[in-house]
Amino acid sequence: MANTFRAYQLTKKEEKVVGVVQELTIDDLPEGEVLIKVHYSSINYKDAMANTDNSAIVKKYPFIPGIDLVGEVVESADDQFEEGDRVIATSYDIGVSHDGGFSDYARVSSAWVLPLPEGLTMKEAMLYGTAGLTAALSVDRLERNGLTPEQGKVLVTGATGGVGSFAIAMLAQRGYDVTASSGKEEAVDFLKSIGASEVIGRDAVYEEKVRALDKQQWSAAVDPVGGQTLASILSKLNYDGAVAVSGLTGGIKVLTSVYPFILRGVSLLGVDSVYTPMSKRKEIWNRMATDLKPAANILDTILHKEITLDQLSEVLPTLLEGKSLGRIIVSLQ
């Protein structure tokens, strides 16, 4: 293990946040039972938010962002893990109040670490990251609520983002007829190549007006958008339909009525990937390595870009501008 290593660290000077690759030592890392040599991390919307001047994500500086990481155990004070074990650590406090994955080394709580499942490479694990985990949790919740492919079309909003992309690919892998919603006309071919049978615009889901009950169109939906898009989805679900919601890029207010719930038996299913219990987390990661895993060519299509630490300051802002399709991973090998 080297005496020093590189990490992308945020500092704040005169209310301005600056991200720079720094040389650090192991002693600079926070406390935790497991020291990991990071091989890959990935970029999520929360990471891009942490990189902004007015972020509510980061509480203290200097700070290493990155809510996802995968790598090999170097040291462990917990008997669950041994040197050389390949492990994943995502969410919890990582990259929020605890230094994260944009670093050659990370030290984290053993309660946040799980073994890399058989059937996944480390690169594939970070191609998934929190976005893939959230998509898988969404599909799992819908299926546990009774959803089957025979019930009809499933809508996915925010389709070109990480959660949306993987939700489309996973649902298609499971045999569902997927309708993707996106505001990017240039993304139609991309969305169909990863499993969407139909691509519609945002205004086909929400047209600035939400009816108490609208025409029934979808058996279920995966929605990482929220806001009035979610309210409109609820009004358009089939009888006994359900929507799994995991995001708020469209806003936090959902102005709806009780009618979809009491006249059509619609279900609103909340999805949280941050504090998912470890037992459930392991179960879902195992599904991501088996029945929910898209074909290799689909994974290659979802991988938008592989970058290094030195490119983070340039790439992170593009997520806030909505310019990317699929996923961006960070190589630290």
- The string of pLDDT tens digits covering residues 174-187 is 999 999 999 888 99
**With 90 as the cut, is the pLDDT of residue 323 above it?**
no
Q: How confident is the model at residue 208 (pLDDT cuts 50, 70, 90)?
A: confident
DSSP 43-85: --HHHHHHTSTT-SS--SSSB---SEEEEEEEEESSTT--TT-
pLDDT tens for 17-74 read 999 999 999 999 999 999 999 999 999 989 999 988 888 888 889 999 999 999 999 9
What angle in degrees, to the nearest 10, is found between the helix axes of 122-144 and 278-288?
Answer: 110
Burial class of residue 18 in the structure, from the number of CB atoms within 10 Å of its CB (0-12 exposed, 13-18 middle, 19+ buried): middle
pLDDT tens digits along 218-268: 999 999 999 999 999 999 999 999 999 999 888 899 999 999 999 999 999
Instruction: Please tell me the distance from the alpha carbon of residue 34 to that of residue 76, in angstroms, as a whole number.
Output: 4
DSSP bridge partners of 220: 154, 242
Q: Which two tokens stand for residue 11?
A: 């500092």
Per the CB < 8 A criterion, the answer to whether 8 and 331 are in contact is no
User: What is the arithmetic mean of pLDDT over 297-312?
Assistant: 95
Query: In whole angstroms, what is the distance from residue 239 CA to residue 215 CA?
Result: 11
Q: How far is CA 27 from CA 23, 92, 106, 107, in A?
A: 12, 22, 11, 10
In contact, 69 and 101? CB cutoff 8 Å: yes
Alpha-carbon distances, residue 88 vs 43, 74, 105 (angstroms): 15, 13, 13
